[in-house]
Amino acid sequence: MMNTKENIKVLIPREDVEAKAAEIGAQIVKDYEGEPVYLICTLRGAIMWMSELMKHINCDAEIDFIQASSYGSSQTSSGVVKIKKDLEGEIYNKNVIIVEDIIDTGNTLKLLKEYLQDRNPKSIKICTLLDKPSRREADIKGDYVGFEIENLFVVGFGLDFAQKYRNLPYVGYIEG
Ligand code: IMP
Ligand code: MG
């Protein structure tokens, strides 16, 4: 029993997220035609989506982790990405898939993608569990999108509110 103040409602049940991971995982295998992929999980929010998704990526796959945040006026190209934890491996000439929890403004992800692009991977795509298109500021989109959602504050399946609720096995929202 969680000792919580917030009232959390289910937005996307666990079964729906799991089914979506299977669908997208199979699509990825098909799209890369058996070529190896390099899955990059963005810490910390994407861990549960990453682990669900990778079960369904039945081809050669490496996994790695990165933690980034952005600051500065990131709506323009002058935004700066701060890498709190960098990759362990090399991505040169590899098929990189950035695995994200949610694309909100897209500012951090846009800068992160540019940062990784500088290492000359063979290709780079984005796979996000959630997308809030109405909030977008940066010119970026997901190549694989689990669910488009309204402008709600969501938690669970890796996503947090003040570091809480990441362990909920479904996507919920905080009723305000
Ligand atoms: P942005 O796309 O650069 O604005 O930042 C996206 C990051 O903000 C995500 O990776 C999440 O960590 C966090 N975030 C955005 N919207 C939500 C939400 O509704 N719940 C929890 N975290 C969120
Ligand atoms: Mg994140």
pLDDT of 131-167, one tens digit each?
999 999 999 999 999 999 999 999 999 999 999 999 9
Q: Identify the CATH number of the domain in which residue 138 sits.
A: 3.40.50.2020
Residue 11 placed within a domain? no
Residue in the structure block whose two tokens are 């905080």 = 174
For ligand 1, is residue 11 a contact (CB within 6 Å)?
A: no
Contact yes or no for 130/102 (Cβ under 8 A): yes
For ligand 1, is residue 115 a contact (CB within 6 Å)?
A: no
Positive or negative, the CA dihedral 49, 51, 52, 56 is positive
Among residues 64, 150, 169, which one has the least CA distance to residue 102? 150
Asked if pLDDT for residue 72 goes beyond 80, the answer is no
Q: Could you give the 3-state DSSP secondary structure of residue 91?
A: coil
Look up 86 and say whether it is catalytic: no
* Catalytic one of 104, 131, 139, 160: 104
Could you tell me the residue range of the domain that residue 60 belongs to? 24-151
The number of folded domains in the chain is 1
pTM: 0.94
Residue 37 placed within a domain? yes
pLDDT tier for residue 6 given thresholds of 50, 70 and 90: confident
